Structure 1
Amino acid sequence: MKTRPPGGSAPAKPCVTLYFAIYRKTLTVQKTILRFPFPTDDEKDCDLVGHHFSATDARTGILQVLVHGNSYDHRYWDAGRVNGKDYSYVNYMVERGYDVLAVDLPGTGDSGRPTGDGVGFDHVGKALSEAVTRTRDELGQVDKIALVGHSLGTILAVYMQARWPIADVLVCTGVGFSSSLLPSPYGPGVRENALLDPYPSVAPDLRREVFYHAPGVDPNVVAYDNEVLRTSLPRRLWADSIAIRNDPERAGLSRIACPVLIQLGEFDPVLPGSYADTERDFWPANTNVTVEQVDGMAHCLNLHHDPQRGWESIDRFLRNES
């Protein structure tokens, strides 16, 4: 790994709807599903769902809030085992003392399903900030919040932190604001055509081509991803992510003051690691920003061979900033 150093409505209490135990190595982890109703532009409210996984080792006092990207739900962070190898970021982190809240964005996973134009970044950013605040208060023993995003989730995390600054540290993976300098990795007109559908997704062949670096991934993982993990989401969220990524002022980059770690895959056509220095220049000079290239990977950093390389770096960063 190569590193380049710094250069509404009344709040509702979370409703616990399900408890169950998950076997992880030799440790039992409690998982709790939390529902947070929030207003939309539709005629009714929508539930934002978070999956809370309890730390299994001595607590660090850090709650990681995980925000997935386009064509995924929270399982991007908890993909499980394929061919005997564990691709769960959640497993890795709870075993190191972190509490984790992995979110299903509206229209995905267990969250409510608004219309395709019923929710945007403003709705979700505010709802998620309130959900994190209430979760922190309910849990207790939380000293710091780490907001961790992937791809679209990264753009949402930045937008949210600029307006509702709840995080003490920010981790951005799979995209940056210098992505605006590059053409769409999907090819001309593909995104525009996809956005005609109220609930678009990324086609399996494009996911295979854009999300993965073939020499660095198990083909069975790619097949599992396309057959099991692939989802759609409200088009307004995708459209917002593009517009905000292309406009750092609208994103609120100048207002980001907490420490930031950015991870870019070496072969990611969305934003390759070679753009690390360029990406750093988009961020405030007086903010502690570190940009890393994760070697041998493309867009989906959690699903390539040995994803622990990137996870170790995130763990180290969070401990150093705690």
Structure 2
Amino acid sequence: MTLDIQGEPAYCYTGGKPFDAALPAVVFIHGAQNDHSVWGLQSRWFAHHGYGVLAVDLPGHGRSGGPALGTVEQMADWLLAVLDAAGVRKALLVGHSMGSLVALEAARRAPQKVRALAMLGTTYPMKVSDALLASARDDEGAAIDMVNIWSHSTIAPKPASPGPGFSVMGGARRLMQRMSAINPDRLFYNDFSACNAYANGEAAAQAVRCPVLFIFGSKDMMTPARSTRTLTGAIAHGKVVQVDAGHALMSEQPDAVLDALDAFALSLETTPGP
């Protein structure tokens, strides 16, 4: 589904089902140098089990037009505009890495629009090393290779790849390379800079009153467990689930991530809202 947001196309994958705003809405937000496809299993499952799904491509990523937005705050405003354009009154926001910050900031700006938050591979502050920022700026291909290695806990998920004949690491690398080809204007540097500069996370977390789920990869080197204490401490009511994966947990452990999200979504049906 493509929406018009301020004169630019905003693409939302709906999981193979027409989007129905009358259903409970689940909105998936990808991370840096990615697009909606990182949510392939999770978005399709929810769409075929009674939910209205929007897996967005942020501006300048995937099929969405316009320049990439330079701050988490701008991305959050764009996301809220997408919800309004799609007729979504309230949604479960599911964000990975940079997308988790976008979801958190959207909840700060419009708490009445957010039914619950699921934050995967998240941390705050989400600082990026000077060396990696410089590589993303000056040699995006090298930055892609480095991040792809650091985001995965193994070359081949054990006991086997979730998709026979499919390379999890290879697919992730090609996706990031495709994002570079679609938008050659230093997209990775833009996204990393937005994560690095975001300064509202602690205040936003302290303001959260809706149900929250954290899903962390136990072998995550990009947002390791020790770095998550600010967020989990500020959102003390949040539930924490760990899966045996690195930062790319949706592809390394797709079923475990789906199980956690499904259980969380079901809990919302029996828990009164804030």
TM-score, normalization: structure 2?
0.79
Q: Equivalent residue for 2:266?
A: 319
Q: Secondary structure of 2:220's partner?
A: coil
Q: How does 1:221-300 map to 2 (within 5 A)?
A: 221-228=168-175, 230=177, 231-232=179-180, 233=187, 235-244=189-198, 248-249=201-202, 252-273=204-225, 279-281=231-233, 283-285=234-236, 288-294=237-243, 296-300=244-248
Match of 2:133 among 191, 200, 205: 191
Alignment CA distance shift 1:220-1:196 (3 Å) = closer
Q: Equivalent residue for 2:272?
A: none
Q: Could you say which structure has the higher strand fraction?
A: 1
Alignment CA distance shift 1:272-1:47 (3 Å) = same
Q: Equivalent residue for 2:149?
A: 209
Contact 1:276 1:292 in 2 (8 A): no
Hey, what's the Cα distance between the residues in 1 that align with 2:29 and 2:204? 18
TM-score, normalization: structure 1?
0.68
Alignment CA distance shift 1:222-1:107 (3 Å) = same
Hey, what's the Cα distance between the residues in 2 that align with 1:229 and 1:67? 16
Match of 1:131 among 63, 82, 96: 82
CA RMSD, Structure 1 to Structure 2 (Å): 3.0
Q: Could you say which structure has the higher helix fraction?
A: 2
Q: Equivalent residue for 1:6?
A: none
Q: Equivalent residue for 2:167?
A: 220
Q: How does 1:71-90 map to 2 (within 5 A)?
A: 71-78=33-40, 88-90=41-43
Structure 2 unmatched runs, 5+:
181-186, 270-274
Match of 1:159 among 93, 97, 105: 105
Structure 1 unmatched runs, 5+:
1-32, 39-44, 79-87
Pick the structure with greater CA Rg: 1
Contact 2:122 2:228 in 1 (8 A): no
Q: How far is the alpha carbon of 1:206 from its aligned partner?
A: 1.3
For residues 62-98 of structure 1, the C-alpha deviation after alignment (integer angstroms, 9 at most, x for no partner) is 21111000121111112xxxxxxxxx22222223222
Q: Equivalent residue for 1:25?
A: none
What letter corresponds to residue 48 of structure 1 in structure 2?
A
Q: How far is the alpha carbon of 1:146 from its aligned partner?
A: 0.5
Percent sequence identity over matched residues? 24
Match of 2:65 among 112, 122, 125: 112
